[in-house]
């Protein structure tokens, strides 16, 4: 029998005990009332009996018999009621155990209902793994090929290092940020999400691959007047040249600060 059903049956059992006990309790009260009444009646006849009134004596004797009967009946009720009270007390003690069992059984059912959610989490993680694997299958070879073309030099050292580690850093950041948004701390990771970590590296790789590209409407050749680091993850020494995107904010800021200057396409010299 399930704990919930046992609890219901147990409550019915206690109710049946109370049903049996109540008439006995009422009977005890009634017999006490009879005893008290007979005591008053007997006291009222005391003077008449003392005066030798035989009728009063006879009545007193009858009242005493009635009182004795009430006392005996009250004692019988008390004994039966006492047994039922003990039975009820034991049942009350057992109620907590049955109630606890019912709560445990209810919780067990709810816990078992977590299994579909666990499967959902597992499928979601598997989907994340598949998406990461698919991204890695494209990203890793392209990074390797790009680094090989750019060259692992002092100029590109920072960018190549970022490219090598950004994939895993991006995954850690995405997990930390996504879980942290719902109050779960699964690991320590850099701030941001996957796109924010990997995106800039991809942009820098694109720009780095373009530093030797031909000039067009979107790109121009620039001369570096000062040593510059951090532009698209690269380091440039004074006197070097590179093809850079004209509309890029960082490029425009360097131009405004006089760090770089645009090279005239016709003369091949830096603009005055």
| Tens digit of each residue's pLDDT (9 = 90 or more) over 27-85 | 899 988 998 898 888 888 888 878 888 888 898 899 889 989 988 998 999 899 888 88
> In percent, how much of the chain has pLDDT > 90?
10
Q: According to the model, what pLDDT value does residue 47 have?
A: 83
* 232 φψ region: left (φ > 0), alpha (ψ -120 to 50), beta (else): left
Which regions in the chain score pLDDT beneath 50? 1
Q: According to the model, what pLDDT value does residue 257 have?
A: 93
Q: According to the model, what pLDDT value does residue 210 have?
A: 75
Strand partners, 270: 263
Q: According to the model, what pLDDT value does residue 96 have?
A: 65
Q: How many CB atoms lie within 10 A of CB 100?
A: 12
Q: According to the model, what pLDDT value does residue 102 have?
A: 64
* CA distances, 103 to each of 7, 95, 100, 109 (Å): 10, 12, 5, 10
Q: According to the model, what pLDDT value does residue 39 have?
A: 86
Answer yes or no: are the C-beta atoms of 39 and 67 closer than 8 Å.
yes
């Amino acid at each position: 029998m399930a704990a919930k059903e046992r609890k219901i049956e147990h409550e019915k059992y206690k109710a049946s005990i109370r049903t049996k006990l109540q008439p006995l309790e009422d009977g005890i009260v009634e017999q006490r009332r009879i005893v008290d009444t007979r005591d008053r009646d007997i006291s009222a006849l005391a003077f008449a009996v003392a005066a030798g009134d035989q009728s009063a004596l006879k009545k007193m004797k009858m009242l005493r018999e009635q009182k004795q009967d009430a006392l005996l009946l009250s004692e019988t009720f008390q004994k039966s009621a006492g047994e039922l009270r003990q039975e009820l007390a034991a049942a009350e003690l057992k109620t907590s155990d049955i109630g606890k069992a019912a709560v445990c059984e209810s919780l067990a059912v709810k816990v078992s209902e977590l299994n579909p959610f666990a499967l959902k989490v597992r499928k979601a993680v598997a989907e994340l793994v598949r998406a990461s694997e698919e991204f890695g299958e494209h990203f890793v070879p392209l990074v390797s090929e790009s680094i090989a073309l750019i060259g692992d030099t002092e100029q590109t050292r920072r960018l190549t290092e970022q490219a090598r580690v950004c994939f895993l850093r991006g995954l850690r950041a995405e997990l930390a940020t996504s879980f942290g948004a719902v109050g779960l701390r699964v690991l320590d990771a850099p701030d941001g999400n996957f796109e924010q970590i990997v995106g800039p590296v991809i942009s820098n790789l694109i720009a780095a691959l373009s530093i030797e590209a031909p000039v067009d409407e979107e790109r121009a050749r620039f001369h570096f007047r000062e040593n510059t680091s951090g532009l698209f993850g690269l380091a440039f020494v004074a006197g070097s040249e590179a093809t850079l995107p004209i509309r890029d904010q960082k490029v425009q800021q360097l131009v405004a600060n006089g760090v770089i200057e645009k090279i005239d396409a016709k003369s091949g010299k830096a603009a005055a």
